[in-house]
Amino acid sequence: MFFKGVKMRLLAAIPLLTALAAFGDEASSSRPETSSQQPVAATPYRFEVVSGDPGEQGERLSAVLGCIGCHTLDLTGEDWTEPELGVLWTANLTQSAVVYSEEELTTMISEGKRPDRALMDMPSYLFSELHPDDIAALVSYLKTLPAKGVVHPDPTIGPTLAKQIESGYFKDSVQQVAEMKDKAPPDLGPEHAYARFILRATCAECHGMDLQGSTEPLMDAPPRPGLQIVAAYSAEDFSTLMKTGKPIGDRELKLMGGVSRWRYSRFTDSEIEAVYDYLLALARRGP
Ligand code: HEC
Ligand code: HEC
């Protein structure tokens, strides 16, 4: 697993803060017409349906949406415990699929809410705009998994996390969903609405909801650039980046290489094309 051995505990929290900080800036800017705050229309979009079998669609989405990054490749979860922050395991989804109903799994994925409590560090704010049929596909994929391993312990709240909760710095997944509900990448017109939807559920996790990137530390990776950088890529080079993790120039990317290989190599060609066209339009729009 390419994430192994790095501190994962803040993976979900930090990009969210980055995204929120960016909105602070935007509120004081004079470009309301390009505001990222226009809500995504009530989710008419789906990821391309590549199979009549919802389980197969769900399996592809579990890669594209990064479930396999945090919950590990076989979705049995891993330990992100840090003493100062508390115990935290990413859930064993093969067991969750046995314990919870389809409806409960849907609510956990898209609202961050488990029947007994709010989830922590589960980035449901990214998944809150997914099409109901895509969430149903994910759930039906989870239901096909043979149960393996054990149900991991619930999170605890260590001293540092307690302070972060008290100061409002840390937000649980339900609070994150509420905060990010109406936020989306910039609206570049109806011809780019589909890509905008894809970017909200994927790239926004690390490059920020406004796609402007961030210098906030994320594991031990270099800063994430603003995605206007894609203007330096031809359509073919961008497709190569998504499918193989290989960027232009004679370089290796640290985190993005693995993210592409594990997640975005499962995009379809038309999804990659839509994302590329959107990002070129974003670059042309200017700062
Ligand atoms: C950035 C990391 C991250 C990503 C990406 C992620 N999750 Fe999670 N998820 C977590 C963490 C951490 C928890 C544990 C939260 C807790 O126990 O409070 C969790 C909990 C859950 C739960 C609750 C299960 C239970 O038994 O309590 C479900 C269901 C779930 N995730 C499904 C998914 C699905 C499906 C995807 C992909 C669409 C996904 N997650 C992507 C981090 C992530
Ligand atoms: C898990 C975090 C994460 C996600 C999700 C993510 N990125 Fe990145 N991305 C990074 C990091 C970190 C870098 C900095 C380069 C590195 O990793 O070495 C980067 C760099 C890039 C670059 C610059 C490549 C270059 O030539 O230097 C591009 C382009 C890019 N990402 C596109 C995307 C797109 C498009 C998406 C969504 C489809 C996406 N990223 C999703 C973390 C992420």
Distance 90 CA to ligand 1 centre (A): 6
CB 219 within 8 A of CB 271: no
Could you tell me if 110 and 130 are in contact, meaning their C-beta atoms sit under 8 angstroms apart? yes
Q: Per-residue pLDDT tens for 179-189?
A: 999 999 999 99
36 Cα to the center of ligand 1, angstroms: 26
**What was the pLDDT predicted at 44?**
85
Other C-beta atoms lying within 10 Å of the C-beta of residue 117: 11
Mean pLDDT of 160-186: 96
Given ligand 2 and candidates 127, 206, 240, 277, which is best to mutate, with the most ligand atoms within 8 Å of its CB?
206
Average pLDDT over residues 143-171: 96
Q: Which of 23-27, 149-153, 177-181 has the lowest mean pLDDT?
A: 23-27
pLDDT, greater one: 230 or 24: 230
How large is the average pLDDT for residues 86-99?
A: 97
User: Would you say 214 and 15 are in contact if contact means Cβ atoms under 8 Å apart?
Assistant: yes
pLDDT for residue 22: 43
Residues ≥6 apart with Cβ < 8 Å to 1? 72, 73, 78
For residue 279, the ligand 2 atom closest to its alpha carbon is 35
Q: How many Å apart are CA 91 and CA 71, to the nearest integer?
A: 7
Tens of pLDDT, residue by residue over 228-251, are 999 999 999 999 999 999 999 999
Please identify, by atom number, the ligand 1 atom nearest to the C-alpha of residue 154.
17
Question: Would the CB of 203 count as within 6 Å of ligand 2?
Answer: yes
280 pLDDT higher than 60: yes
Q: How many CB atoms lie within 10 A of CB 11?
A: 21
pLDDT digits (tens, 9 = 90+) for 52-68: 999 999 999 999 999 99
Residue 155: CB within 6 Å of ligand 2?
no
